[in-house]
Amino acid sequence: MKTIQSTTATLSMNHWYSNRVELLELGEIYVDKTGFIHDLLTSEFKMVLLTRPRSFGKTLLLSTIEQILSGNIDKFRTLDIATRTPVYDWKGSHVIRLDMSSYGDTPADVNIGMRIHLRSIAKRFGHKLEHNKSGPALVELIRKIVDSQIQSSSEIDKRTKTFAHGICLLIDEYDYPLVTNINKPEVLGNMRDFFASFYTSLKSAVDMIRFAFITGITRFNELSAISGMNSFTDITFDPNYSTICGFTQNEIMSNYGEFVKQAYEELKTDKSLGPCKSVDDVFGLIMDWYDGYSWDGKKKVINPVSLLNFFKYNSFGRYWYDTGGLRFLQKLQIQDDGYFKSLSNNSSFEAMITYHQTKTISPASSLLSTGYLTVGKVLEGASTKGYADKTFSLCIPNMEVRMSYAEDYLVGMAFPDISVSEQARYISLAKDFCFEFLNIRADEAAKRLSSIFAGIPYDYHFESECFYKSHMNTTLSFARGFLTAEKNTAGGEPDFVLETRGQVMVIEVKYGPSTELSVNGTLDNPSGKPRVSGDVEVTEKAGQNGEGGVSPKARNPKGKGEHRTVTFLDQGLAKAMNQINHRQYALEFLGNGKKVWAVAVSIVGRTGVKIKFEEIRRYNLPVSHETEAP
């Protein structure tokens, strides 16, 4: 890989977002993707579609392609494209570049804006356009440019009418006018008809097009650009081009290694991140936060916007997510809670990925194309020609997306009526709990979890183990790791598995519905039935092999309510830990170089919480840490 980088190793965000050729001229860092462009331009592909989520560098990729097609060899002599075989033909072509996001939001505006742009291009070539509709005007422009090429070519070329270079057409954000109007049915219908007509007109110019490259976010099926042009190739899921946008781990270390070292110096004392003992630890955190995007289920890339903003501030934040967040999904009308819940707990699911119809948007396809889900595995059809109507295993890409969803979606779903300030308080407590929990500080973690449960409004409270597990799921979603609820292991399904770069936590939760113990040791009794004294048995019966809820019989002398709560908590811990160890839930995680913890969480009522950690080095040899929050 060739790397161009400034001698001072400075990073300019403004320069990064400018033309890639300007980056080379300014001596800024340049991640070389020209090898992929060489492969595209020397392949049998003539019409190419690439979709990627917003802010993944599609426009910058198009700028590079434009410079190469224009024959600017001097800009690329030291880059990959100059070393590849077969040798690329650097004879320049005329390039027409359109940006569909810059013309307007209605068919009339798009037509006028594109027509004005086409006339300015024609003027540059010394031509004048007669057509008023943008589609025919584009075809007219192509014909006039090609006719000029013929007139200036040899007599043999005139007779055969072969165009050695032809026209190169680049269209950026082809789907922008459609996505912008996705929840305006009447405008969307008119826009769909407009673009269908536009691309149908373009068919008549296919023979005069040397190469066409179109980018966007979503993949719509009705447009003639996709369904009508038989030579059009969708490389969105082609494994040969899966890393054409975004940065791989090797590209980051080759080009931004100095910035990783600088980040380590800034973050090594930041206790909120856990132990950062080396540059590798910080690099691992960067990967956990921002890496994970895949379009072939194997090779992964990191989002450039997130990475560069992290290096700018040396702080982990929601940089990519905040460029659009839920607002973009709201445009796509994604309302199926099942997909959002999958985002919250990192569970994967199978889905058929298809081209969109503008009248019916597939939630799974939309979440994938917009970057909120990514490909975990390709389950069917490893074709290099595209993956329409194939089945994928989809999963959340990284911590930035998952934690953003937890903050923006899960809390609002759990407490739809509480104020923004109360939601902020919950989020703050959840983050504090996760920090203490991941650092094996059982006493502090138990206190914070107790505060979270105590703060749940009575309107949302239910006396059930399922209720508390649900809120544990929401709370653990703020942990800097990957959370899986009811993960399938050889021994069964623990309530949660939380995996970080350095450790694995296998978590089992037990709940004792005390109906709130009073200060004198008796039970609050909202039912009006006679109060219970002496031996008390919680009615949730324990299952076989230690599974089930807390089921203690405990003496309850008057004035000993707190001791009785502690007894319930201890029995809950014992049952949870016994279940983890008896079923050997942690067995598959041993021997992978990570520290493995069995974690028992016992809850009694709204405020009784006790947590116990056992480090599992091998079974029957635990090292214990436990505490409680009364």
- Confidence check: pLDDT of 203 > 70: yes
CA 276 to each of CA 266, 307, 322, 337: distance values in angstroms, whole numbers, following the listed order: 10, 18, 26, 36
To the question of pTM greater than 0.85 for the whole model, the response is no
Dist CA 497 CA 597 (whole Å): 10
CA 234 to each of CA 219, 299, 476: distance values in angstroms, whole numbers, following the listed order: 9, 18, 39
Render 475-486 in DSSP notation, one character per residue: HHTTSSSEEEET
Contact between residue 260 and residue 286 where contact means Cβ atoms under 8 Å apart: yes
Parallel, antiparallel, or unpaired for β 209-216 and 47-51?
A: parallel
526 preceded by cis ω (within 30°)? no
pLDDT of residue 512: 80
Chain segment 498-512, per-residue pLDDT in tens: 988 788 999 999 988
Residue carrying structure tokens 């440019």: 145
Chain segment 324-343, per-residue pLDDT in tens: 655 555 555 555 555 555 55
Domain annotation for the chain: domains and CATH numbers: 32-235 (3.40.50), 249-399 (no CATH), 415-629 (no CATH)
pLDDT greater at residue 137 or residue 553: 137
Contact between residue 500 and residue 289 where contact means Cβ atoms under 8 Å apart: no
Lowest mean pLDDT, pick from 294-298, 319-323, 573-577: 319-323
Give every CB contact of residue 442 below 8 A, 6+ residues apart in sequence. 611, 612, 613, 625, 626, 627
Beta strands in 184-242 (DSSP E): 209-216, 232-234
Q: Among candidates 606, 538, 614, 608, which has minimal Cα distance to 576?
A: 614
Dist CA 165 CA 69 (whole Å): 9
Dist CA 454 CA 446 (whole Å): 12
Q: How far from the centroid of its chain's Cα atoms is residue 568's Cα?
A: 41
Give every CB contact of residue 520 below 8 A, 6+ residues apart in sequence. 558, 559, 561
- Confidence check: pLDDT of 225 > 80: no
Burial of 86 from C-beta contacts in 10 A (0-12 / 13-18 / 19+): exposed
CA 506 to each of CA 316, 569, 599: distance values in angstroms, whole numbers, following the listed order: 26, 19, 6
